[in-house]
Structure 1
Amino acid sequence: MDITAAVAAEVGGEFSLQPATLAEPGPGEIVVEIAGVGLCHTDLAAKDGHLPFPLPGVLGHEGSGVVVAVGAGVTKVAAGDKVVLSFNSCGRCRECLDDEPAYCHDFMSHNFGGARPDGTSTLHQQGVALGSEFFGQSSFATHAIAHERNVVKVADDAPVELLGPLGCGVQTGAGAVLNSMDCLPGRTLLVLGGGSVGLSAVLAGVVRELQRIIVIEPHADRRDLALSLGATHVIDPGAGPLAEQVRAIVPDGADYAIDTTGIPDVLNQALQALGHRSKVGIIGVPSDPEAAMALPLIQAQVLGVRVMGIVEGDSDPDVFIPELLELHRTGRFPFDKLIKTMPFSQINEAVAAQHQGAAVKIVLVHERGEEPA
């Protein structure tokens, strides 16, 4: 199939809309016509060389759309079904069999390997393979090949073009609260960073009926948005020491902290704002792959601090995405308030807007005329 894709040609370069050829779906594979695709920090981290992925290639991992064809053996979906695409997993390792696919033993190869398990690419240009299979989809394109394990069927009346972020950023933030840390009602949550992941955690904190939800965010408009979504307090990190500002709100310290920044100094400051038996969830991807946090050992022991790395909010997408959609249907999880749509053809402008803080979560939607001639 001839498609149009946003190709990342080199580390640190811009995206370029180019014609490409999508392979026929193999066994267990699904061809999806992409209606919308979220722009995520992980896409940009891979483009800029902070995460492994072969270039030139096609990124994109928050896709959603309509199934147009399926490969042999696929029974989960059929042509015409609306779907959300999420991360890929092997389905065979211990964690996958325990319904913990976010910790698949082969997560890196299935999501960052740039090719199918047999080494073939799903995308080519003039016979030359492109890096593909990013998170099992590479959905910065008009069409993508996904897999039976990483598609979630949604209702026919669902606003499919807006649902892609549920497959990664939204389920990561919400899942950190509802799954990973299983926050208890009436407690205090500290959210480091008011981007789409952090604000999804805020929405989940409201669902979980937390007493205090404190958001640390330098952009004033994002602090205002956090308050409108249910945060009880917001803090400008430039206004003074972070721990002092937090303890002015909750003297005994926060029960839970989620870091979405990937900035060690921010996380280290937050450690001074924690209470007894607190939990810290590490979500943010650092720009330096060697970045490390400094854990004060005696304090951690005395308080009983528990630090956990979190991938995809400990979510099983087949279970969690429908739960989030049901919360949204009943008005309890308005994740759409985080989203701004832009044309897919303006992907580079969208990157700039998100970087400047002009938008929290941009979803790129396709326009007519983006198909190759």
Structure 2
Amino acid sequence: MIKRYPTKQIFVGNVPVGGDAKIPVQSMTFSKTHDVQATLEQIRRLHFAGCDIVRLAVPDYEDAQALKAIKAESSLPIVADIHFNYRFALMAAEVVDCIRINPGNIGNKERVKEVVKACNERGIPIRIGVNSGSLEKQFDEKYGATTKAMVESALYNIKYLEDLGFTNMKISLKASDVERTVEAYRTLRPLVEYPFHLGVTEAGTLFHSTIKSSIALGSLLLDGIGDTLRVSITGELEEEIRVGRAILKDSGVEAEGLNIISCPTCGRLEANLVKAVAEVEKRTKHIKAPLNISVMGCVVNAIGEAKHADVAIAFGKGQGLVMVKGEVIAKLKEEDLVDKFLEAVELAAKEYKA
């Protein structure tokens, strides 16, 4: 496991963020928050997808009013996302589990002070959300939309909250490109103790966001940086959670779920590998045990990979082997292999002990 940078631990509802806690995966509803039932339905979808914390947009008074009813029925801790109108933050602070403010657009210091006071009274954290596209005027004019501007904005606002006696916070430093995002987090990390919320803002469609987020968040996680994350995708809610969990698993931070090893398609394939892997993915989504399973389409690499996998298929011409820990447990026709393989995977998962 990767050694993480030591950070202060805070709580968003009952979910710990920072310290030695697991890294929570977050998402954000896209319904109008004042539509209580639609928002609760999206929260339920995220809950069953494996989301840990959900953020709700609060752009108007009706949205702020709806938070109480939503919180009463939500299965996930709620973060209220506030821009421009600090009064909505004051309303939200009465019921939600965390307030997210962007220092660049929330208003003058007195308004921030009121928000801090409200959060202090309820013991809820604030996320300082620095975004390269909406920096305070003094930093934008001096540095432009650069890493330096993002870091200076974060330090300025962290100090302001600290001077008010408030240390219950987490920090995000988001840009829409990988380079600035990674550089900003790496630069700020040694300077403060607060947990970091990782993300690439406005990352685009599933395809583009998966690539940007995997590079940026994966790089930071491998450095031991990051205490919670969101993968921002223009698309379905569940995909944000699926990609976020995959980044945690494949970066080695979180040992949960199957690692499916399959060879690339090539002229050596002796089976319908694409179909077989799709079937395996579909029927193993529920498995949480961190097993290595291998689905290989020819003899060139199949046996070698199988020796190192917990469970493996080695396809041949019209037939193949199912192997467990490198030992052959079945030699079957091609059409029978996947079912036998999945049976062995289920058994291995059941018997797995951490």
Same fold (TM over 0.5): no
Q: Which has the higher helix share?
A: 2
Give TM-score scaled by structure 1 length: 0.26
Give TM-score scaled by structure 2 length: 0.27
